[in-house]
Amino acid sequence: MFQVSVGGYSLKVGCGLPSASFGVAKQHAGLVDELGVTRPDSSLSWIEVRRSGNDWPFLVVVQRYAPGLDAGFCPGVLVVPETGRLFLGAGERLLAYDLRTPKRLWEDAAEMGFWSWARHDDVVVISAELEIAAWNLEGRKLWSRFVEPPWEYRVENGLVRLDVMGTRSAFDLYTGPTEAS
């Protein structure tokens, strides 16, 4: 387990079985979201979200996911403090939450597995095994593109520079790829 604080929020995050106090934390949360918890052939992760200075979480997410740690895929979280959005990825599951309410905004999928979140200006980008995609800071999907490993990207001056198996392309961070890119 580890704890991180960002923009007025404190997050406790763990993989594997949670601590003994986790059950009590769930009782105090305004929203408890449990996903695939009975799936035995998967990894387990959990997150508790508190407002800084509060003892109890207002959001708890527990999920089993695959592909998991044994295949090299670990969960990832990105918080956008100014909009109160939390992006969570684990295995093939992508989730977004409104931390102000709290409520789940959407669930999406990352075929073959989630890699990471990254924020570039006003855009949140996901890297996954077979996809690169982007959302605005409110959690609205902007674009998506199929990729296959090995691939990598970087953002320079509002342009996504993508290299998929040696084939390079560039496109606007906000509007995404076109047929020509």
Closest CA to 153 of 139, 142, 169, 141: 169
pLDDT in tens, 114-140: 999 999 999 999 999 999 999 999 999
Q: What is the structure's pLDDT at 180? A: 62
Rounded Cα–Cα distance for residues 124 and 14 (Å): 23
Indicate the pTM of the whole model: 0.94
10-residue mean pLDDT series, the chain (181 residues): 93 87 89 90 93 94 93 95 98 98 98 97 98 99 98 98 98 91 60
What confidence score (pLDDT) does residue 18 get? 81
Q: Quote the CA–CA distance of 67 and 115 in Å, as a whole number.
A: 11
pLDDT in tens, 37-49: 888 888 999 999 9
Return the pLDDT at 181.
Answer: 60
The sheet carrying 59-65 orders its strands as 2-6, 9-15, 43-51, 59-65, 31-35
